[in-house]
Amino acid sequence: VFPMARAALNLTARGVQHTAVRQAHRKYESTFHDKYGNLVLLGGAAVFTTVWGYVFTQLGMEWGLSPVGRVTPKEWRE
């Protein structure tokens, strides 16, 4: 069993070495993340800030640690 496992590991290591050599000789191509990564990140941060800013300002919540005495039921509309 040991020689068989060693042979399997050797094949795996050889495959990794071949892949590394092939990729080392390739010309570097920029990917989507290289081109637009920072722009997407900034856009997401802007949307996040805008949405939560709207929610916090339009929610009408009174900020406090305890809701006791502040929460009152509203009239039911039919």
Rounded mean pLDDT for each run of 10 residues along the chain, 78 residues in total: 67 64 67 90 96 86 66 75
pTM recorded for the entire structure: 0.43
Q: How far apart are CA 24 and CA 27, in angstroms?
A: 8
Q: How far apart are CA 72 and CA 3, in angstroms?
A: 77
**Cβ–Cβ under 8 Å, residues 70 and 62:** yes
Q: How far apart are CA 9 and CA 11, in angstroms?
A: 5
**Cβ–Cβ under 8 Å, residues 18 and 10:** no
DSSP 6: H
